Chains A and B, each alone.
Chain A
Amino acid sequence: MTELTDVPSAFAYGDSLLTGDRVRLRALIEDDLPALARWEMDPGRQVTLTDRVAPPSEARARERFARMCANDGDAVGFSVVALDDPQPLVGSVSMFGISAKDRSATIGIALAREYMGRGYGTDAMRVIVAYGFRELGLHRIALTVAPFNAAGVRAYEKAGFTEEGRHREAVWHDGRWYDEVLMSVLEQEWAGRRAGG
């Protein structure tokens, strides 16, 4: 917890809030849209991101990101860039379903295939979770993940999430049913980890 006492301390908080060790979250820029839309239209990647493989049109994919990252309502969305030189766009992350009453949010994260497995997703999760608790005043952050996405489950665990249940046989692909794994992190768990270093 930082106490803001002057303009430099306020700026410093804002500057560091969305920055991690490997990645930075930033506002969506127009130049991000072609790549984000292309990734969204990738049927292979959709199997781990959604319950139904059905690549959208480019127009609808762009609209989704534009809406998700407008950040003028309760929901927030950002582009994820790696802290390299130059800083390549590696994915996007969003929190939605936020209501003032319960202060609960759902996270969605999607990395480009070519940037998976380098720790960018884990770091982006740490950053958005901290942002949710520190700046948005959330109490609970939840997500769902496919049970066969073991890399995703591990990354979410590293960012503080715990499996809290399963939607049993919720998703159908190619003649088989799969559970949907429910994970969440609560305010006090996150604060405890943070105090613990």
Chain B
Amino acid sequence: MTEFTDVASAFAYGDSLLTGERVRLRGVREDEVATLARWEMDAGRSVTLSDRVAPPSEAAAKELIAKWSVNDGDTVGFAIETLDEPPVLVGHVFMFGIRAKDRNAALGIALGREHLGRGYGTDAMRVIVGYGFRELGLHRISLSVSPFNQAGIRAYEKAGFTEEGRRREKVLHDGRWYDEVLMSVLEQEWAGAGA
């Protein structure tokens, strides 16, 4: 917890709030929308991101990215870029369903396929979870993940998430049923892990 005493300390908080060890989260730029939309249209990738493989049109994908990134309502969404020079766009992360009453949010993260397996997702998760508790004042952050996405589950665990249940035989792919794994992290767990 930082206490702001002047403009410099306020700026320093905002400057560090969305920056991790490997990646930084920031507002989506116009020249990134095409790449983010292309990833959204990747059929292979949508097996781990969604319950249904049905790539959207480019126009629909761009609209989704735009809607997830305006950041003036109950959703916040950011581009994920590496801390390299120059930075490389590697994905998008957003929190939605935020209501004042319960202070819950659901989280969705998607990396471009070529950027998986390098720790960017784990770091982005740590940053957005810290942001959710520190700045948005959340109590609980949850997500769902496919049981066959073991790399995802490991990354979420590293960011503090715990499996809290399973929606049994929730998703059908090619004649087989798969569970949906429910994970969450609570305010006090996050604060305890940091302390």
* Interface positions of A (Cβ within 8 A of B): 41-48, 52-61, 113, 116, 146, 148-152, 172-176, 178
A150 to chain B, nearest CB (A): 6
B191 to chain A, nearest CB (A): 8
Q: Is the CB of B10 within 8 A of A47?
A: yes
With a cutoff of 8 Å between Cβ atoms, the chain A residues found around residue B70 in the complex are 56-57, 59-60
* 6 pairs of A and B residues whose beta carbons are closest in the complex: A44-B14, A55-B27, A175-B1, A57-B69, A41-B27, A44-B11
How many residues of chain B have a CB within 8 Å of chain A? 35
- Cross-chain contact of A59 among B11, B12, B30, B77 (Cβ < 8 A): B30
Query: A46 vs B72: C-alpha distance in the bound complex, in angstroms?
Result: 13
- Cross-chain contact of B71 among A48, A55, A173 (Cβ < 8 A): A55
> Counting CB contacts under 8 A, is B110 at the interface?
no
With a cutoff of 8 Å between Cβ atoms, the chain A residues found around residue B9 in the complex are 148
Q: Is the CB of B18 within 8 A of A43?
A: yes
A78 to chain B, nearest CB (A): 22
Listed A/B pairs (29) with beta-carbon separation below 8 Å: A41-B26, A41-B27, A43-B15, A43-B18, A44-B12, A44-B13, A44-B14, A44-B15, A47-B14, A48-B7, A53-B17, A54-B72, A55-B71, A56-B69, A56-B72, A58-B29, A60-B71, A61-B27, A146-B4, A146-B10, A148-B5, A148-B6, A148-B7, A148-B10, A152-B7, A172-B137, A173-B13, A173-B135, A176-B2
Query: A175 vs B5: C-alpha distance in the bound complex, in angstroms?
Result: 15
B41 to chain A, nearest CB (A): 19
With a cutoff of 8 Å between Cβ atoms, the chain B residues found around residue A173 in the complex are 2, 4, 13, 134-135
With a cutoff of 8 Å between Cβ atoms, the chain B residues found around residue A172 in the complex are 135, 137
Q: Is the CB of A176 within 8 A of B3?
A: yes
Query: A60 vs B78: C-alpha distance in the bound complex, in angstroms?
Result: 13
With a cutoff of 8 Å between Cβ atoms, the chain B residues found around residue A148 in the complex are 4-7, 9-10
B130 to chain A, nearest CB (A): 10
Query: A46 vs B69: C-alpha distance in the bound complex, in angstroms?
Result: 16
Q: Is the CB of A45 within 8 A of B11?
A: yes
- Tell me the B109-160 residues at the A interface (CB within 8 Å): 131, 134-137
A53-B135, A61-B27 known; A47 vs B4 contact (CB < 8 Å): yes
Query: A53 vs B9: C-alpha distance in the bound complex, in angstroms?
Result: 14
Q: Is the CB of A55 within 8 A of B26?
A: yes
Q: Is the CB of A43 within 8 A of B69?
A: no
> Counting CB contacts under 8 A, is B90 at the interface?
no
A167 to chain B, nearest CB (A): 16
